[in-house]
Structure 1
Amino acid sequence: MASVLGLLEAKESAAREAVERAREETVRAAAVLEEAERVLERLVIAREAVVEVLAEPAGRAVVAVEGAAVAAAVAGSPVPHQSGRLARAVLAPDYQRIISVLESEAAAGRNKVRAKDLAVALGLDVVPAKIEGVRSQAKRLAERGWITRHQSGEFGILTA
């Protein structure tokens, strides 16, 4: 007959495993939620911009765009495609920080940086949700021509 302590230890072990699985699932769900919130925010901004443009007379909208200066971005703003003429100031502060970290790493001779190392350099908690958030932002910068994404999945600054 099994001992009471042995049975309790087995149940405790199973409960610990269930808790760990639930924690991992929560981290994954948090990352999905974070990305969904970013998508929603971009869509709201896009809709508001379209409504604003459609509300103005056609000639006035063109004049306003031609005379407008490039403003600094705010947190949560979309990443524009780099055409070689855009200043880093058009990027949201989080994206600017990623580029700054990559430049610092390149100056130290490290031309390839993993998302986990970026998260550490940015002072974030080293948990999957934060690492995946940084990876997502870095991938977005790479897709739009601001940085390089190597085949290994690591990131670096653009070389001329």
Structure 2
Amino acid sequence: MVSLPEELQARETAARQRVEELQAEAAEVAVRLERARADLSRLEITRETVMEVLAELSVADVAPAVEAHDVPEPRETPAPHGIGVMAVPPWREGLVAGVLPDVYRDIVEIVADARGALQAKQIVPRIGLEATTAKIEGTRGKLKRLVERGWLDEDTPGRFTLARHDGDAGHVNSR
């Protein structure tokens, strides 16, 4: 018969071995997760860059041709305050929500489908996020950016609606 201390020692050894195995697995998963995050980041940046280039090309297609002698003198432009590309292009005639990054497009579509103005805390669960303060504030920042760029309106502080542009009502999801 095995004594109680010997049985406890055997179980402790087995548990320690299992913990070590799981730690090794966790380390391997952490490495794979970091690689996947790096891949995701590169793809997001690539997509945003492509969307910006496409948005600029669509502006160039719409803008009338300018003679070389009609080009105004280049003006000094302010230095950008951020690094990277503009993920949310300013709204303009003919531009559809499909050019926006996924989460921004989802937000615009949710607001467009709503019967009235929505608050950030109402939008967060609809885009699949947990309704925590951090997620609500992050979404509020995205909503403010969409207002700044002309996609949404904020007639009442904290309440967002689809921006109304002459003749485009109902065409948010058009392709």
TM-score in terms of structure 2 length: 0.44
**For the pair shown, which has the larger CA radius of gyration, 1 or 2?**
2
TM-score in terms of structure 1 length: 0.48
